[in-house]
Amino acid sequence: MEDFNAANEIQDLQYFGEFGGVNPSISDSSTYTFLSAKTMFDTFEGNAEGCYLYSRHSSPMNLYLAQALAKLENTEAANVTASGMGAITSVLLQVCKSGDHIISSRTIYGGTYAFLKNFLPPFNIETTFLDINNIEWIEKSIQPNTKVIYCESVSNPLLEVADLRKLSQICKKHNLKLIVDNTFSPLSISPTLLGADIVIHSLTKFINGSSDTVGGVYCGSQEFINDTKNVNNGACVLLGPTMDSFRSASILKNLRTLHIRMKQHSYNAQYLAEKFEQDGLKVSYPGLPSHKNYELMKSMMHEEYGFGGLMTLDAGTTEKANELMELMQQENLGYLAVSLGFYKTLFSCSGSSTSSEIPEEERIAMGISDGLIRFSIGLDHDIERTYQKMKECMVKTGVLHHENTSIY
């Protein structure tokens, strides 16, 4: 596993623009001309390598970005989509048909949860939501019609880490597909090296890193990617969540700095998590030995990229959390905003935002408390200075009672 370095793989890809530019040229076309009608027919049938027909099927820039992301995830191929949900929904609808069953981690992004819980059942696709760390229970819950185990490598928002090695063993034994959303841990975790079949990202987050677009990708075997793009029955080409070429060009440029950004996000998050834990706050971060999956994550990650940029802190109540977030924003410590992977710290209360699709009782059972703030830690240059300023906000709002005593 240590021999694989995705950053090198991406760096080794070389593209030239049409006029020798250092970036590939953007194809600003939805449709493409042919000198012969026969080639058009062959292209439609998927038999004319290097020819383009229509940009919902594929376009040069989307293929460049997809190729780079396949390198990132060590897969044969990939396909980019207009959003992370575009990737998730296309993949699940490709793999599962009416009468099929999915096993999913119960702690996943709220939009994915809503899709599995509310959108798929009318199409006769049912999902069982389970604690992803309870491997025995997962295996026991496999039914004859189960097709997929779905999880996030590091989950949103609770930062639970899935044991991808064990899950993949179960999948192989029962002939299921292991589909992993790796949005929170690009470069740190390479799910395919641990046995995953399909890896998904919301490119909106760390990979693009600029909070200026939504985007998604799924990475897998060439055969699977081709299936999703089949003009007769491919979920992605028929549902149509196509990324625009201008966006794929800008995401490809941002991907070039991902390795540097991930190290800084992780460094800063580790620093703050350690400091706030020492102050007695209820912090959760997979890089803290107190985190229940610390050892597991260590055994799965490429250490140089760290434990990621996400951290949670329990402020006690929604009111306290809101007060703290508003003050931190006023003090220019970050933005009260959903999403993650930006240069600036972003914070939001998961229960009332990105996980609000999950009913309250289920949220509580999972451990998403009302005062839980999810932080996506930014690229701050002087993290000690940030820590001091954040701590002042915590003291002012009573989240920390005074210098060294938390409310717990």
Binding-site ranges for ligand PLP (CB under 6 A): 83-85, 109, 111-112, 152, 156, 181, 183, 202, 204, 214, 216, 354
Beta strands in 239-305 (DSSP E): 283-284
Burial of 384 (0-12, 13-18, 19+ CB in 10 A): exposed
Residues 6 or more apart whose CB falls under 8 angstroms from that of 195 comprise 164, 165, 167, 168, 169, 171, 172, 178
* Minimum CB–partner distance for residue 347 and ligand PLP (Å): 14
In degrees rounded to 5, what are phi and psi of residue 127?
-125, 135
Q: CB under 8 Å, gap of 24 or more: what pairs does 391-395 form?
A: 391/275, 391/276, 391/279, 392/331, 393/324, 393/327, 393/328, 393/331, 393/333, 394/279, 394/281, 394/324
Nearer to ligand PLP, 25 or 352 (CB): 352
Nearer to ligand PLP, 154 or 249 (CB): 154
* Minimum CB–partner distance for residue 3 and ligand PLP (Å): 28
Nearer to ligand PLP, 100 or 181 (CB): 181
In degrees rounded to 5, what are phi and psi of residue 243?
-80, 145
**Token digits of residue 203:** 């490119």
Nearer to ligand PLP, 27 or 355 (CB): 355
* Minimum CB–partner distance for residue 81 and ligand PLP (Å): 9
One-character DSSP codes across 61-84 = HHHHHHHHHHHHTT-SEEEEESSH
Distance CA 160, CA 141 (A): 20
Q: Nearest residue to ligand PLP, using CB?
A: 84
Distances (CA, A) of 284 to 10, 327, 399: 32, 21, 16
* Minimum CB–partner distance for residue 146 and ligand PLP (Å): 22
* Minimum CB–partner distance for residue 187 and ligand PLP (Å): 16
Nearer to ligand PLP, 24 or 215 (CB): 215
* Minimum CB–partner distance for residue 217 and ligand PLP (Å): 10
Nearer to ligand PLP, 90 or 264 (CB): 90
* Minimum CB–partner distance for residue 360 and ligand PLP (Å): 20
Nearer to ligand PLP, 85 or 178 (CB): 85
